Amino acid sequence: MPNILLTRIDNRLIHGQVAVTWSNHVGANLILVANDRVANDEIQQSLMDMAVSDAMETRYFTIQETIDKIHYAADYQKIVLVVETPQDALKLVKGGVPIKKINIGNMHYSEGKRQIAKTVSVDEADIETFKELDKLGVELEIKRVPDEKGQNIMDLI
């Protein structure tokens, strides 16, 4: 069983909050980004690695690679799993990745979305995805930083 300490939806993927604040808070030593675009973009990977300390490992897998490889994680790997969208999180859950709780950090506003929290904006597809994750028994908490009081997204959508 992979040692996933935190699963986070954050459209910025790796940045200071993930690389330092959350990773230190949960005691992680590996940040795994599950994202089809970034898995094949070495420039983006290099830019994100700049936010990470030398003591932290990073991996950049496609969604399918994550599903295929996560169960081979070593016991010593304490993982922060980061995805860009709720749809990616749902694919992982349906693919057998053992995710019981998702931290929703940042989902930026764009055309067609409505803001439901300070850093979270959703459209109808996002809402339907969160409802499906909820039905699958995944806890869904909006929480930017560890010392902030979390809020169940289902109370807001």
Domains of the chain: 4-155 (3.40.35.10)
Tokens (6 digits) for 147: 């010392």
Q: What pLDDT score was predicted for residue 129?
A: 98
**Greater confidence, 15 or 115?**
115
Do the beta carbons of residue 144 and residue 106 sit within 8 Å? yes
Percent of the chain whose predicted confidence (pLDDT) is above 90: 94
At residue 123 the predicted structure's pLDDT band, cuts being 50, 70 and 90, is very high
At residue 50 the predicted structure's pLDDT band, cuts being 50, 70 and 90, is very high
DSSP assigned state of 149: P
Q: What pLDDT score was predicted for residue 89?
A: 98
Q: Is 108 noted as a catalytic residue in this protein?
A: no
Report d(CA 157, CA 155) in Å as an integer: 6
CA dihedral 49, 52, 57, 62 (to 10 degrees): -50
Q: Which of 15, 25, 71, 108 is catalytic?
A: 15
| 16 has a pLDDT exceeding 90 | no
